[in-house]
Structure 1
Amino acid sequence: MGDGGVANLKNATIALLAPLPSILFYISFLARHYSLSSADPWTDWCYRHPLLLANALFFFNINLLFWLVGLIQSSHWMIDPYWTAIPVLLVHYYSTHPLAQYNVWRSRVVILLTWVWSIRLTHNYFRRERWQWGAREDWRFTDMRHQYGKHWWWVSFFAIYCSQQVFLIGVSLPLYVVHSVDQPWNTWDFVAISVCVCGIVVAYYADTQLYDFVSRNDKLKELGRPVVPNLDEGLWQYSRHPNYFGEQLWWWGLVIFGWNLGCGWTLVGALVNSLCLAYVTLLVEDRMLRQAHRAGAYRLYQETTSVWVPWFKSSPKGVKAKNS
């Protein structure tokens, strides 16, 4: 096994062991709660405050532990694959907490959907990373590392990990509501399922088309031939970021579950996530325009193609002016 294989195995081991503190603590809490002995204050607090406990576990296990691992490795790569896993951990936590109450079928459907979403996103992450663990960190983190210089070691704790807690706990609020409100199944559940499934399907096809495009360009580079500057086929013909659109459909589909159960406030997490993704969209497009070989083609793409919501192409501005 070469150095790359050893590093890959080491990172995989670290990543798989990383959530164990939270998992073991929660199992211990359940054992204490269901034991015949009198509950201690900590057990009682964990029982009465499931949402606060989720945040506490996230803070100590993800924010602190993952941050320390990132400092040691000089790479905050681990939060990316765990973005796909944390909602799965949360939905099982909410469904097994002693205070949980829910419609069994709604719970099963939401858990299944969350697993399908997670498998799709996990597959896309590792496919993009050539099935390597920790080969690189998110390019946005690398840019911030250069931007903040010697202060990055502490800024990263807030910029990467505390912010992820806000986003992940926020967008997963419907998973909490589904397992804290017991109401009969109704038509809106089918609407929520349809939106969630559409989001997963759109994101899968968009990411697959993007992966195939990048792979073809890599082969062209190896052959010394010019690369295609811009992806403008499939779903990308109708939207500049169909993968983002699909991901947003997924989260807003979960909001419908929460709204249907009388908890419209669960939209806060999806709204904050959408606003953040809008900012990320600006960063991604600015990065495209800074690449000389694709800047011209991408400007034309911006003029003719919808940002998120798939729609028919419009005429370039120059063509409109010429025909007017």
Structure 2
Amino acid sequence: MAAVTAAAGTGYPWATFAANLGWAAAAALAVMLVTFAIAVRKGVHRVVDIAWGIGFTAVALVTCAASAGEGDTGRRILVTALTSVWGLRLAAHIARRARGHGEDPRYDAMLAKAPGSRNAYALRMVYLLQGALVWLVSLPVQAAQYVPGSPGAFAWAGTALWAGGLFFEAVGDAQLARFKADPAHRGRVMDRGLWSWTRHPNYFGDFCVWWGLFLIACDSASAAAVSWVSPLVMSYLLINGSGKPLLERHMATRPGYAEYVARTSGFFPRPPRRKR
């Protein structure tokens, strides 16, 4: 609490932070509009998934430039670096996974119901919506960079949580990619490594990353107050929204999946249950 009080006592630059909200929105919108143009040209809207991580990186970089002279330099560099490493790794992973594939079945199903132009519907319901979510979820990234005090206990705890989250996400993605690359595993359920401790190590990693970034903002009571909603929104999306539920519905009919569900945690890691 001492770190929060010290940072808050120096005064939070509300006017410049408010202006930054506009710059961040413009950055997120620009990424989504460029991605939309690429998608229309290619005829495949799944490229928007690649833009998710790039959008957060763009917001972090724009905020870092706009907050010069306002926030602590070390904290600005820390938050920008952590967000960029996470965002660009995720974008590269999704791009590799999508290479050589056509449209994502989720977008095919959504756009099949489009009243009128598929592209116009995709712009409204996918790109602009994701741009708004990038802006909202990135509030801790924006708010933390305007905190004038140097990083304190909350910031270093947040960095540690971010690192644990990145480990789960990156290692889980790599383990799944190796498993799927073996033709002998076709149609089988991945239940090894981190996937034996949680059915969604990548989503759990995302969860930790965004609560970690929020903690970095918590060195200032003002920054925490303006950005607490963001990790809650991300947690809802991962656990109850477009993350875990959609994937589990897709996997439900796969042979062996019911047994996997019975012995493996649905989200938070724990040792697998033993067979009776």
Q: TM-score range by the shorter chain?
A: 0.7 to 0.9
CA 1:50–1:243 in 2, change beyond 3 Å: closer, same or farther?
same
Partner of 2:145: 179
Distance change >3 Å, CA 160–CA 313, structure 1 → 2: same
Indicate which of 160, 181, 185 corresponds to 1:215: 181
Contact 1:91/1:176 (CA < 8 Å) preserved in 2? Answer: yes
CA distance in 2, matches of 1:166, 1:200: 24
The Cα RMSD (Å) is 2.6
TM-score normalised over the length of structure 1:
0.71
In the alignment, what sits opposite 1:96? Answer: 65
Equivalent position of 1:148 in the other structure? 114
Structure 2: any 5+ residue segments left out of the alignment? Answer: 1-14
- Aligned equivalent of 1:241, options 175, 190, 200: 200
Aligned residue for 1:204? 170
1:122 corresponds in structure 2 to 91
TM norm structure 2: 0.83
2:269 is equivalent to residue 310 of structure 1: yes
Equivalent of 1:289 in 228, 235, 252: 252
Q: Secondary structure at the match of 2:238?
A: helix
Q: Residue deviations 1:165-224, cap 9 Å, x none?
A: 2221122111211222211321111101100111111111100010011101xx33xxxx
Measure the CA separation in 2 of the matches of 1:191 and 1:211. 30
Q: Tell me which of 46, 49, 71 is aligned to 1:77.
A: 46
**1:99 positional shift:** 6.6
Structure 2 partner of 1:230: 189
Cα distance in structure 1, aligned partners of 2:22 and 2:206: 26
CA distances 1:276-300 after superposition (whole Å, capped 9, x unpaired):
222231111111124xxx24x1111
The 1:150/1:49 distance shift into structure 2, 3 A limit, reads: same
**With CA pairs under 8 Å and 6+ residues apart, which has the higher RCO, 1 or 2?**
2
On the 8 A contact 1:144/1:152 being kept in 2, the answer is no
Aligned length: 258
Tell me by how many angstroms 1:65 deviates.
4.6
1-side partners of 2:92 and 2:40: how far apart? 26
* Identity over aligned pairs, percent: 24
- Unaligned stretches of 5+ in structure 1? 1-44, 221-225, 320-324
Pair 1:68–1:113, CA change in 2 (3 A): closer
